[in-house]
Amino acid sequence: MNEIKKELEEKKEDSKESLVGLSLPALEKELSSLPAYRCKQLYEALYVQGVRDFSSLTIFPKDLRVLLEKKYTLRSFKLSDVQSSMDGTQKWLFKMPDGQEIETVHIPEKTRGTLCISSQVGCTLTCKFCHTGTQTLVRNLTAGEILTQIMMAQDFFEDWKQSKNSRYVTNIVFMGMGEPLYNYNSVSEAMKIAIDPKGLGFSNRKITLSTSGVVPFIEKCGQELGVNLAISLHAPTNELRSKIVPLNKKYPLEELIDACHAYPGVHKYRKITFEYVMLKGVNDSPSQARALIKLLEGLPAKINLIPFNSWPGAKYECSSIDAQNKFSNILSKAGIYTFVRRARGDDILAACGQLKSKSERERRARH
Ligand code: SAH
Ligand code: SF4
């Protein structure tokens, strides 16, 4: 009996609308019967103070809190699972009200903490080395769902501006599941709140959007959001890139590199990051390193070499340390700032390209 009651209550909770993701004007529209100053207070409570349930909204009269509570929620996700890696990386599996799941990863470093967030459940693109790419797109995330990942991480660390000075969540990268520029509207709505000084208050310099190269949205993203740009390059020629990043057939390297040259705000001190996954015998030869230097000539670029992270069923192997070092040295000698990204959290499949919702993994395992 108690089980049934609990299930019904959970269902009722799931059908509530989330206020997270609403901008101030959208909040005023949604709560049009409230005076404007109340909406302002609510906006601040939501995004600056991190109020996560209406009962803590003590500046509101009790009857108003009860009314809001009946219809709305401030945290629509349930935490399905947390996994902690030996290196301190944590992977959270969140369940959304429709039952879909997404993964968010927190990577602690000495003086900062990077949160790797998802923009879609699955991905429509099929990069050959990516685990997420083997899961077809289930759906786009809403702006609220993108923000909820950040806000629940802040809840977890009690890392709200008002409660602590040190910040566990200092940087945000769109390197989780999905292609953010194929969900541009939600990503931009969410990021506008994330960078609003009266919202979550992140600097756009602390946010990096990683794309496999959706050219038409690159410039828009720079103009509207001004976040850092990372391009998943992975190959120096169209022939190879089209094989491993099929989107290259639609937006070939010439167009992609032109879009990078035109990216607003890029200069010597604000470079574009080019991600390059190291695949043994595929893209890791010295001549490919030289071709890469030529391709990026004249661009304020830095290169992030990512040792390939394996996953069950992957057809690639990671380049040897020797090949990685040789490749990296050639680039560095040419004056391009290059770093090899140490895999973080790969013992819990939380490293780049290893994410895939648990339900999807289980579904595949059954077939
Ligand atoms: N869809 C976006 C962002 C998510 S992927 C994009 O493609 O940029 C984040 C990064 O992980 C990308 O650079 C992607 O190419 C890389 N990646 C994907 N699978 C990987 C794997 N198995 N090992 C290492 N990096 C991988
Ligand atoms: Fe999608 Fe990025 Fe994976 Fe390619 S690398 S399949 S764009 S998530």
Q: How far is the CA of 361 from the centre of ligand 1 (A)?
A: 18
303 vs 17: CA distance, rounded Å:
42
Three-state SS for 182? helix
CA of 109 to the centre of ligand 1 (A): 20
Specify the fold of 2-73: DNA polymerase; domain 1 (1.10.150)
Q: What is the whole-number distance in angstroms between the Cα of residue 3 and the centre of ligand 2?
A: 40
Fold agreement between 2-73 and 80-365: no
**Residues lining ligand 1, CB < 6 A?**
127, 129-131, 174-175, 179, 210-212, 232, 275, 277, 306, 308-309, 352-353
Q: DSSP letter for 161, please.
A: T
> What is the number of other CB atoms lying within 10 angstroms of the CB of residue 234?
24
Domain segments of the chain as ranges: 2-73, 80-365
The stretch 226-255 carries a mean pLDDT of 98
Distance between alpha carbon 91 and the CA centroid of its chain, in Å?
13
Cα–Cα distance between 303 and 192 in angstroms, integer?
27
Mutate to test the pocket of ligand 2, among 214, 232, 279 (most ligand atoms within 8 A of CB): 232
| Nearest ligand 2 atom to alpha carbon 353 | 3
Q: How far apart (Å, rounded) are the C-alpha atoms in residues 353 and 313?
A: 13
Predicted confidence (pLDDT) per residue in 169-209, tens digit? 999 999 999 999 999 999 999 999 999 999 999 999 999 99
Measured from the CA of 212, which atom of ligand 2 is nearest?
A: 7
Query: Rounded mean pLDDT of the chain?
Result: 90
Torsion sign over Cα 125, 131, 136, 141: negative
Residue found by looking up tokens 């949604």 in the block:
30
Active site amino acids? 103, 352
Q: Is the CB of 212 under 6 A from ligand 2?
A: yes
Q: What is the pLDDT of residue 351?
A: 60
pLDDT of residue 366: 44
Measured between alpha carbons, how far is residue 275 from residues 211, 231, 292, 303, 340 in Å?
10, 6, 12, 6, 10
Q: For 80-365, which CATH class? A: alpha beta
Best CA proximity match to 341, nearest among 220, 249, 232: 232
The two three-digit tokens of residue 44, written as one number:
């601040």
Nearest CA owner, ligand 1 atom 8: 211
**What is the distance in A from the centroid of ligand 1 to the CA of 77?**
25
What is the DSSP code string of 89-107? Answer: -EEEEEE-TTS-EEEEEEE
Q: What is the mean pLDDT of residues 246-266?
A: 95
Interatomic CA distance for residues 133 and 208, integer angstroms:
20
Atom of ligand 1 nearest to the CA of 174: 3
pLDDT, mean of residues 262-275: 88
Instruction: With a cut of 50, say whether residue 367 has pLDDT above it.
Output: no
Which pLDDT score is estimated for 12? 64
Closest by alpha carbon to 231, among 243, 242, 215? 215
